[in-house]
Amino acid sequence: MRKWRGAGIAAATVVALGAVVWFFGVPVPEWAVGPPEGVSRVEWLTAVNSARSAFLTSLSIAAALVTAGLGIRKYFQDRDKQRLEEDKHLISQFDTAWGRLASADPLVRANSVRTLFRLMSDSPRDRPSVLRSVCDLLRKQTEDRADDDRAEADVVAAVDLLRERSAPGAPDPLDLANVRLPHADLRGAPLRGALVGKAILSGANLADADLRESAMPHVVLRGATGCAARFDGATLDHADLRDTHLRGMSAEDASLAEADFRGADLSGAVLRGAVLRRARLSKAKLDRIDITGADLTGADLAEADLSTVAGLTAEQLAHAVGKPAALPPHLRK
């Protein structure tokens, strides 16, 4: 039945096209030229042929335009259909991955995180949802974790995602408040603007990490490594930075009020314009640090070697407390 219906439609189409061509090729040119009055038969036929050629040319152009239009329409319809199918496939994969995050098996959760990482790359619009889910997973799976406990596979996979994801073109703040990630590998992690308040990151590796403008009050970084890390404009009030290795780190205009740097290695650090009110810098290694314009009001400098510190003024020293072990040449009496 379908075969005959298709043949009938094709035959009707051919007849219709033939009728159109005949109509524009015979009656229309003759109507356009008019009756053969006052001219010879040859002249009239020549005029009819010219009109016929013009009409058929116009008809061909119109047909080509219609064909092109239909082709373009089909292209966009096919593309929309393909996108719809891809969206359905992505949604199915997302649903499966998110469902597996609730698994009791850490290996299943780890595979789910890796799947979400891949899907996040394929679907940028789902990036915020994926990152929120990963941060929630970290908070939940680490809330009762002891500092010396070995991280399970899902936590390692989530940290890998945070570290290896591409740097966002627009603000992409992560909510990592209260997570417990001691000894986490966050080297070079793009964490600009992250919310890391009260997080436990003791012993973590933050070398070359970007933590500019992040909110990190009361964060615990004791024993962490953050060489060349960037904390410019960040808030680290009351942070525990004891025994950290922060050589060459940058914290321009950062807020470090009451931060504890005892025993920290800050060699070569840039702290221009930083707020160090009541910060504890006693016995910290401060070789070649730059504290130009920093607020040292109430900062504890007891036994600190300031001999190579750049930008230190008598006024800053007067507002600090404690007796340094050594002063730069221009402040020695």
Q: Is residue 1 part of a domain?
A: no
Q: Is residue 159 part of a domain?
A: yes
Q: Could you give phi then psi for residue 289, rounded to 5 degrees?
A: -75, 155
Q: Are residues 162 and 180 in the same domain?
A: no
Q: Are residues 184 and 301 in the same domain?
A: yes
Among residues 114, 137, 166, the one where a domain terminates is 166
Q: Which two tokens stand for residue 128?
A: 């915020």
Better pLDDT: 38 or 269: 269
Better pLDDT: 142 or 270: 270
pLDDT over threshold 70, residue 171? no
pLDDT over threshold 80, residue 81? no
Q: Is residue 69 part of a domain?
A: no
Q: Are residues 212 and 320 in the same domain?
A: yes
Residue 98 structural domain: 81-166
Q: Is residue 37 part of a domain?
A: no
At residue 231 the predicted structure's pLDDT band, cuts being 50, 70 and 90, is very high
Which of 2-6, 86-90, 248-252 is predicted most confidently?
Answer: 248-252
pLDDT over threshold 90, residue 263? yes
Dihedral in degrees, nearest 10, Cα atoms 300, 302, 308, 312:
40
Provide the domain count of the chain: 2
Q: Are residues 112 and 207 in the same domain?
A: no
At residue 76 the predicted structure's pLDDT band, cuts being 50, 70 and 90, is confident
Count the neighbouring beta carbons within 10 Å of the beta carbon of residue 17. 11
Among residues 150, 166, 182, the one where a domain terminates is 166
Q: Are residues 108 and 240 in the same domain?
A: no
Q: Is residue 326 part of a domain?
A: yes
Calculate mean pLDDT across residues 67-75.
77
Q: Is residue 243 part of a domain?
A: yes
pLDDT over threshold 70, residue 28? no
At residue 31 the predicted structure's pLDDT band, cuts being 50, 70 and 90, is low
Q: Helix, strand, coil: what percent of the chain each, to 5? A: 45, 10, 45
Calculate mean pLDDT across residues 217-239.
96
pLDDT over threshold 80, residue 58? no
Q: Are residues 136 and 199 in the same domain?
A: no
Q: What is the pLDDT of residue 56?
A: 67
pLDDT over threshold 60, residue 143? yes
CA dist 181 and 185 (Å) reads: 9
pLDDT over threshold 90, residue 37? no
Q: Is residue 191 part of a domain?
A: yes
Q: Are residues 127 and 104 in the same domain?
A: yes
pTM for this predicted structure: 0.71
CA 312 to chain centre: 39
Q: Are residues 280 and 181 in the same domain?
A: yes
Q: Are residues 263 and 328 in the same domain?
A: yes
Q: Are residues 181 and 307 in the same domain?
A: yes
Q: Where residue 318 sits, what CATH number does that domain have?
A: 2.160.20.80
Q: Say which DSSP state 125 is in.
A: G
Q: What is the pLDDT of residue 169?
A: 57
Identify the helix (H) or strand (E) that includes residue 6.
helix 2-25
Calculate mean pLDDT across residues 62-89.
72
The DSSP-derived string for 29-51 is: HHHHH----SS-HHHHHHHHHHH
Q: What is the pLDDT of residue 91?
A: 66
Q: What is the pLDDT of residue 280?
A: 97
Q: Which two tokens stand for residue 184?
A: 């986490």
Q: Are residues 105 and 188 in the same domain?
A: no
Tell me the sheet residues that pair with 285.
265
> Whole-number mean pLDDT of the chain?
83
At residue 142 the predicted structure's pLDDT band, cuts being 50, 70 and 90, is confident
Distances (CA, A) of 38 to 34, 35, 43, 52, 316: 11, 9, 10, 21, 112
Among residues 135, 166, 197, the one where a domain terminates is 166
Q: Are residues 184 and 143 in the same domain?
A: no
The residue with tokens 């899907």 is 119
Calculate mean pLDDT across residues 174-191.
92
pLDDT over threshold 90, residue 233? yes
Calculate mean pLDDT across residues 30-59.
65
Q: What is the pLDDT of residue 307?
A: 93
Q: Is residue 283 part of a domain?
A: yes
At residue 10 the predicted structure's pLDDT band, cuts being 50, 70 and 90, is low
